Structure formats: C-alpha cells, structure tokens
Amino acid sequence: MVWTNAVVQGLLLGGLYALFSVGLSLMFGVMRFVNLAHGDFSVLAAYAAYVLVEHAGGTPLWTFAAVVPMAAVVGFFLQHFILDRALGAGELSPLLVTFGLSIFIESALQQGFGANNDSLFLGPLSYQSWKITNTLYLGRLEVIVFVVAVALISGLQLFLSRTQPGRLLRATADNPRAAALSGVNPRRVRALATAIALATVAVGGLFLAMRTSFTPTSGSNDLIFAFEAVIIGGLGSLWGTLLGGLILGVAQTVGSQINPADGILAGHLVFLAVLAYRPQGILAARNAAL
C-alpha cells in the first residue's frame, strides 16, 4: 500500500509539473528555442501574488484572477519587444537573452524580498485531505492542482485544434515559411504563444507557492522539472507533456520512498533513460510540432 500511495502522490505532483512544462513546450514548438527564464516567471508570478495578498488580504486564490492575465500581457509584450528581436539575431541569441532575463529576475527578486523562504498560505485547504483508505489520503489542494492541470491542458488542446488562432499557432509551429505565405503574421502568433506560456506557468507558480515554499532562486529547479517533463512526454503533444509530468512526479515520489534523499535523483535518472532510449519522447506526435 505504501507504493500505491507513492504512485498516487507522484501522479498528483505530476499535474503541477505539467503546468510548468506546457508553456515551455508551446514556446519551443512555435519558436524552436528553450526559454531559460521560464521557471523564473513562475516564481515572479508567486511573488506577485504574495505582494497582492500582503496588500489586499484575503485568500491567495483570488490572485489567480489578477496574476494570470497579467502574466499573459507580460508574455505578449516580452515577445513583441525583446524576444522577437533576439530571434532575428541568430539561434543563440534567444537563449542568451532568456538566460540574462533569468539572472535579472532572480537578482531583482532577491533585492526586493531577500533570500528567505516565502509561501502562500491557503488556510485549512493547505493541509486538509480526503481519506481513501487507512493508508491512502489525497490532499485537497493536490487534487485541485491535478484537476486544474488536466482541465487546462484539455482546454488548450481544444483551443489549438478547434479555433482559428489555435490553427494559426499550429501552422506556424509546423511550417513558419508557409504560414507567412498564407497571410499569418508570425510576430502576432509568437506573441500569442508566449502570452499563453507565461499565463500557464503563472498558474503553476501560484499553485507551487500554495503547496510549498519558494525563494527568488527556486525558478531554476522549476525550469529543470519542466524541461524534463517535456522531454519525457515528447515534443509535439500536449498530452505528452502531461504524461511527462506524471512520470516525473511518480519517479520522484517512488524514489523518495526508496530513499528520502533520492527522489529528485530518481526523476533525473528516468529523464536520462528516456533521453537515451527514446529521445523523441514517449508520446512524440508524428509530423506534429505541437
């Protein structure tokens, strides 16, 4: 039963990782670069919520309504004014620019908030759980995070497949030259992709801040987990990203069950195994960039 519990808790943790990785996958699909500041934006969202709750009070849950749209707007303009210029300057430039952004965000947050741990306390929801059996309890917040992750990925999948902006995103990811020749404004599409990416990572950042503590530098860990989830699941499929998050989560909790100090290491080992034996990822879609 201990193992069942480890797997179930890992699945719930995987939902959170999926939230981190969806945006990374989307940006890579459309622009073919890894946003090295992706994790830092999750932490930035967490601090934005922290400040809002400090000043306005109430439960941190309401901050989703303010922080997530704000993150989308930041993403749109970040792409429009900074990343697009970097994209035009060669393949290495976006990596360097996002690396610089990462350092800037971490330093600015350390300057403003210090290096201490902070968290968003939800009250009883932070520790309440549902009893399934005598040895298996499901944390309410963890279940909520998981449900939100599945709903968000389903919604995003529907958006990509059923709406015209979604089709334009997929078309640009598939063949940017043909998209431009079909009248699609590539700058607008890239800005939309980054807006969605930052909105989703903000959701992940807020949930992380509600589940555990965060510091100005915890974005680097978030980026690594997001990156591993994307690679494990496979580029080309949002469901693959969810699956990658779940596998990473399970690997970490099962690893922790074997030895409490080895949870993170177990996740890295699964990532390396996938990279070695199926580098395209488990659910890589054929001919699909998204």
Question: From CA 290, how far away is CA 275, in angstroms rounded?
Answer: 19
Q: Closer CB to other proteins, residue 55 or residue 162?
A: 162
Interface positions, 250-289, toward other proteins (CB under 8 A):
285, 287-289
Q: Closer CB to other proteins, residue 100 or residue 186?
A: 186
Q: What is the CA radius of gyration of the chain?
A: 19
Among 8, 95, 180, 264, contact with other proteins (rule: CB under 8 A): 180
Stretch that binds other proteins, among 78-86, 127-135, 142-150, 172-180 (CB under 8 A): 172-180
Residue 282: strand, helix, or coil:
coil
Question: From CA 156, how far away is CA 284, in angstroms rounded?
Answer: 17
Q: Is residue 168 close enough to count as binding other proteins by CB under 8 A? A: yes
Residue 167 structure tokens: 């089709």
Pick the closest to residue 166 from 142, 189, 141 (CA basis): 189
Burial of 199 (0-12, 13-18, 19+ CB in 10 A): buried
Pick the closest to residue 203 from 87, 63, 11 (CA basis): 63
Interface positions, 186-225, toward other proteins (CB under 8 A):
186
Question: From CA 280, how far away is CA 290, in angstroms rounded?
Answer: 13
Residue 37: strand, helix, or coil:
coil
- Output phi, psi for 110, to 5 deg: -65, -40
Among 183, 260, 276, 277, contact with other proteins (rule: CB under 8 A): 183
Among 66, 96, 178, 272, contact with other proteins (rule: CB under 8 A): 178
Interface positions, 147-166, toward other proteins (CB under 8 A):
164
Q: Is residue 4 close enough to count as binding other proteins by CB under 8 A? A: no
Question: From CA 95, how far away is CA 206, in angstroms rounded?
Answer: 25
Q: Is residue 117 close enough to count as binding other proteins by CB under 8 A? A: no
CB of 190 to other proteins, least distance (A): 12
CB of 167 to other proteins, least distance (A): 5
CB of 218 to other proteins, least distance (A): 35
Among 107, 154, 175, 213, contact with other proteins (rule: CB under 8 A): 175
Q: Closer CB to other proteins, residue 138 or residue 180?
A: 180
Residue type, position 172, single letter: T
Q: Is residue 66 close enough to count as binding other proteins by CB under 8 A? A: no
Stretch that binds other proteins, among 35-43, 103-111, 171-179, 265-273 (CB under 8 A): 171-179
- Output phi, psi for 236, to 5 deg: 110, 0
Residue type, position 177, single letter: R
**DSSP-assigned beta bridge partners for residue 130:** 138
Among 135, 182, 212, 259, contact with other proteins (rule: CB under 8 A): 182
Note the residues at the interface with other proteins (CB under 8 A): 164, 167-168, 170-171, 174-175, 177-186, 236, 285, 287-290
